[in-house]
Amino acid sequence: MGRFVVRRLAGMVAVLFAVSVLTFLIFNVIPSSDPAQRMAGKNATPRLVANITEEWGFDESLPQQYLTMMEKIFSGEVISYEGREDVDERILEGVGPTFSLCIGAAVLWMFFGILFGYLSATRAGGLLDRVLTIVAVAGISMPVFLIGEVLLVYLTYKTGILPSGGYVELAESPLEWGEHLVLPWVTLAIVYVGIYSRVLRSNMLDAMNEDYVRTARAKGLSERRVMSRHVMRNSLVPIVTLFGLDFGALLGGAIVVEAIFSLNGIGEYAYISLINTDLPPIMAITLFGAFFVVLFNALVDIAYAYLDPRVKLGESAR
Amino acid sequence: MSGGAQALLSVRDLRVGFATEGGTVRAVDGVSFELAPGEVLAIVGESGSGKSVTAQTILGLTGSSNARIEGSVRLGETELLGAGEATLRGVRGDRVAMIFQDPMTSFNPVYRVGAQIVEAIRAHRGEVSKQEARQRAIELLDSVGIPDAGRRVDSYPHELSGGQRQRAMIAMALTLEPEVLIADEPTTALDVTVQAQILRLLGRLNRERGLATILITHDFGVVAEVADRVLVMHEGRIVERGSLDDVFYSPTDPYTRGLLDAIVRLDQAPPLRAARESENLLEVRDLVKHYPVRGGLLRRDSHSVRAVDGVGFDLRHGETLGLVGESGSGKSTLCRALLGLIEPTSGSVRFEGREIAGLSRRRMRPLRREMQMVFQDPYASLNPRRRAGQIVAEPLRLQGEARGGELRGRALELLGRVGLGPEHYDRFPHELSGGQRQRVGIARALALRPKLIVADEPVSALDVSIRAQILDLLAELQEDFGLTYLFVAHDIGVVRHVSDRIAVMHEGRIVEIGPADEVCERPRDAYTEELLAAVPVPDPRLARERHNVESE
């Protein structure tokens, strides 16, 4: 276990380094991206531009600029070009809404994804299976922004049942927190429910043909026990992989959903920063997101070792 | 069974059909038999004979929703066909238990062996506590000969050896002291020495517990070792039934006679082959292949698995060297190293006097056409999306030997050489029978006119009757093309039948090498002896003699 952690930490450093270098380079090679020019405004004097350039160090070599920025990001001193706000602080503010959104949606999609997948697989070919298939395919096919907007129109603007957006701290009012998040949760979860239920269904159908399932029946186990203990357990491994990747990626910001419901989370911040070509927050958010992706990949590996005793941590599965 | 004792299990006019797009396929077509308490009934047949379907139907495990089942299966007073789920569940595991071919895949890999046995107990005896059930599991594992059962009970299936896994499977089947045990090819996936142990165990359980057993198998050797009575199945029907001796010594049905004649027997020497005095095609010296096992903080090689551990032998032009060994003996690694598919750790392989060990891929390439391989599983080793003709033509195309119409002509000729016709050219592998597929595999190996063919278990996946045909074909091709064979197999009987000389491999080394007859008749190595003794003899009288000698 210790060796595993050391190796993963080293891997994480390498990934974060590569991701940050790439992001930095991309923003320095795209055209019309002289930040000093933009910060100085439309009718700036060359002198002002030169001042800003010097003050922010835009005339230094790229590696030097990169190092300076990384140092500032990790010491919490990084300031955005646009609005000159404290980036790290702004990201921390976004953690509340983004994590609330992702965790709630994840609970929803895991519950319904697994439930629908299980029902579909155990009744494969039946009416319920067919209905769930249609629902899943519809959920996967509909774009997130469409689902979000449709829900907003019917549940907010026309009926006023739910608030139209924004975020209320959980500590402030748990009820309002939930009210504001119901629509974002559902919107985000729908796609994943569709995908997860389909993946689980096909994994379970494969597992049902395994010899050990026949053994389980031959022992005289009830059909429900055969399904839940022998078929399900082994079919969950790919679901765990998917979940680790999806959830890790979302913690770095669920851009579209956050934007639709003005949640003011990390994703929305990323969206605004991208529009403004505002490098410091983009760098910081990229690192933040990459950190969670790598973290959840490691957690997935640990979960594998737990779910399948043939897998040993730190070794590839054979 | 001739009247007398009350039948424990009685199957009457059983018919199982599977509805497919092409109409109903009759897998079992009017099968009737009875099983008396304490007897071992063997159901023998080749693949597709319906023997396994019969066994699974008894417990209602036929699974598929398009199966149409008619007839009657009575266990004592209980009718099992068409019985409700609850009735069947009560019978499964409790009164009739079943064990399967491959103990690796038949255990759920993610649960401990003990937990899977406990689960079986508690499914039927809810009142037994987990602790008691676990204790019972340990006792059972101990009684089927698993050493250190108290610790093994907490092992995962993959942590046990193949033999221990099947023992554990048998232990699980015995947990509730069933009246009937159905064993579906229980030793087919096991090494021959392990098979002998498992057969002895089954025999002992039958004697000590009076456990009535239905043994499903394709292997007449296994039948001769343990059965009291024999049913021979062919195309869903029983074509022969009788006592063990009747079926072996006076079979009435031509199909049975054909099957018995097709058996390749270890104890019957094949006609002596002319000794071959010729130059060496292949010279192997001190060949070593170690696989490092990674470990330690800095991923140093802490120790290694010695897959091939100092092997040396010669292979002469035109001869067949049989390479025998059980799983894990290193024979597959050896073959791969000889063919330059893996790089040996050290040692020398000379092909026609030229060193080929450690040659680069590029320099190895022209030599590849000289040495070809025939694989064990003809289905897995043929690309399912290519037609037989394309598969055979591929080596010619890759080496730029022929194209267009000429390529097709050459492929057709090759198919002809292995006994296939032009009508097979456009078939996909799944449209061919097992034997035909192996013929395609052989034609592919022949395409580039190699000098050496390494045949890795070429007949072990085939039915007995097909096996003899393929062996004959290989012998005929050897004559015609002057081929040299390295014939790898775990079945020493088959190896003796085809080989001039035999090499026995054990734990990465060749423990004995010599003329086939000598190795089989007068083995010098203790392991060779053990291997020979473990081979079941398809001859009930000899088997009994052997058992008597053993028990004295």
Q: Identify the CATH number of the domain in which residue B39 sits.
A: 3.40.50.300
In what helix (H) or strand (E) does residue B199 lie, and over which residues does it extend? helix B192-209
The alpha-carbon gap from B35 to the nearest alpha carbon of chain A, in Å, equals 19
Judge whether A304 and A240 are in contact, CB under 8 Å: yes
Cα–Cα distance list, A65 to A56, A60, A76, A79 (Å):
9, 6, 16, 14
Q: Is residue A4 part of a domain?
A: no
> Taken in order A240, A245, A248, A250, is the CA torsion positive or negative?
negative
B91 at the A interface (CB within 8 A)?
yes
- Structural domains of chain B, count: 1
Residue B376 is given by DSSP the state: S
- The span from the CA of B220 to the CA of B222, in Å, is 5
In what helix (H) or strand (E) does residue B27 lie, and over which residues does it extend? strand B23-35
Of B61, B89, B98, the CB nearest to A222: B89
B184 at the A interface (CB within 8 A)?
no
Confidence at residue B7, expressed as pLDDT on a 0 to 100 scale: 86
Judge whether A188 and A256 are in contact, CB under 8 Å: no
Helix/strand/coil for B4: coil
pLDDT exceeds 50 at position B236: yes
Q: Which of B63-67, B377-381, B382-386 has the lowest mean pLDDT?
A: B63-67
Q: Is residue B463 part of a domain?
A: no
Q: Which of B106, B125, B140 to mutate to test the interface with A (most CBs of A within 10 A)?
A: B106
**B120, two tokens:** 């079986």
Judge whether B544 and B203 are in contact, CB under 8 Å: no
* B377 C-beta neighbours (distance < 10 Å), count: 16
Maximum separation of any 2 CA atoms in chain A, in Å:
86
B106: closest chain A residue by CA? A212
Q: Is residue B194 part of a domain?
A: yes
Half-sphere exposure of A197 (CA within 13 A, CB side): 31
In what helix (H) or strand (E) does residue A207 lie, and over which residues does it extend? helix A174-208
Average pLDDT, integer, range A259-283: 89
> Structural domain of residue B41, as residue ranges?
9-104+180-262
Per-residue confidence at B490, pLDDT binned at 50, 70, 90?
A: confident
- Structural domains of chain A, count: 1
Q: Is residue A24 part of a domain?
A: no
pLDDT exceeds 90 at position B118: yes
Helix/strand/coil for B10: strand
- The span from the CA of B472 to the CA of B490, in Å, is 19
pLDDT exceeds 90 at position A192: yes
**Chain B partners within 8 Å of A223 (Cβ):** 85
Strands B229-234, B40-44: pairing is parallel
Confidence at residue A318, expressed as pLDDT on a 0 to 100 scale: 34
**Chain B partners within 8 Å of A212 (Cβ):** 105-109
Judge whether B484 and B318 are in contact, CB under 8 Å: yes
Average pLDDT, integer, range B163-170: 90
Q: Is residue B34 part of a domain?
A: yes
Summary mean pLDDT of chain B = 88
Name the CA dihedral angle for B535, B536, B537, B543, rounded to a multiple of 10 degrees. Answer: 120
Judge whether B319 and B515 are in contact, CB under 8 Å: no
A123 at the B interface (CB within 8 A)?
no
**B429, two tokens:** 């592998």
Strands B452-456, B371-374: pairing is parallel
Confidence at residue B272, expressed as pLDDT on a 0 to 100 scale: 61
Which region, left, alpha or beta, applies to residue B213 given φ > 0 means left and ψ of -120 to 50 means alpha?
beta
- The span from the CA of B551 to the CA of B129, in Å, is 40
Average pLDDT, integer, range A93-114: 94
The candidate with the shortest Cα–Cα distance to A249, out of A280, A207, A284, A295, is A295
Q: Is residue A73 part of a domain?
A: no
Confidence at residue B376, expressed as pLDDT on a 0 to 100 scale: 81
Q: Quick one: what percent of chain A has pLDDT higher than 70? A: 97
pLDDT exceeds 50 at position B543: yes
A315 at the B interface (CB within 8 A)?
yes
Q: Is residue A301 part of a domain?
A: yes
A210 at the B interface (CB within 8 A)?
yes
Confidence at residue B68, expressed as pLDDT on a 0 to 100 scale: 87
pLDDT exceeds 90 at position A45: no
Of A215, A307, A309, the CB nearest to B100: A215
In degrees, rounded to 5, the angle at the alpha carbon of residue B324 between the alpha carbons of residues B319 and B327 is 145
Q: Which of A38-42, B6-10, B91-95, B253-257 has the lowest mean pLDDT?
A: A38-42
Q: Is residue B533 part of a domain?
A: no
**Chain B partners within 8 Å of A225 (Cβ):** 123
pLDDT exceeds 80 at position B393: yes
In degrees, rounded to 5, the angle at the alpha carbon of residue A168 between the alpha carbons of residues A163 and A173 is 100
Per-residue confidence at A317, pLDDT binned at 50, 70, 90?
A: very low
Average pLDDT, integer, range B339-355: 90
Judge whether B284 and B271 are in contact, CB under 8 Å: no
**Chain B partners within 8 Å of A229 (Cβ):** 119
Which residue is listed with tokens 């992001």?
A23
Kindly report the CATH number assigned to the domain that includes residue A91.
1.10.3720.10
Contacts of B348 (CB under 8 A, 6+ apart): B283, B284, B285, B286, B287, B355, B357
Q: Is residue B307 part of a domain?
A: no
Q: Is residue A303 part of a domain?
A: yes
Q: Is residue B42 part of a domain?
A: yes
Q: Quick one: what percent of chain B has pLDDT higher than 70? A: 94
Which residue is listed with tokens 């979000």?
A148
Per-residue confidence at B296, pLDDT binned at 50, 70, 90?
A: very low
Judge whether B217 and B185 are in contact, CB under 8 Å: yes
Q: Is residue B89 part of a domain?
A: yes
Cα–Cα distance list, A205 to A60, A200, A227 (Å):
60, 9, 10
pLDDT tens profile B411-436: 999 999 999 989 999 999 888 888 89
> Structural domain of residue A182, as residue ranges?
87-307
Confidence at residue A314, expressed as pLDDT on a 0 to 100 scale: 53
Q: Is residue A32 part of a domain?
A: no
Q: Is residue A291 part of a domain?
A: yes
The residue count for chain B:
552
Of A216, A221, A309, the CB nearest to B110: A309
* A234 C-beta neighbours (distance < 10 Å), count: 22
* B382 C-beta neighbours (distance < 10 Å), count: 22
Return the CA Rg of chain B: 25
Contacts of A112 (CB under 8 A, 6+ apart): A189, A193, A197
User: What pTM was computed for the model?
Assistant: 0.80
- The span from the CA of B473 to the CA of B392, in Å, is 17
pLDDT exceeds 90 at position B484: yes
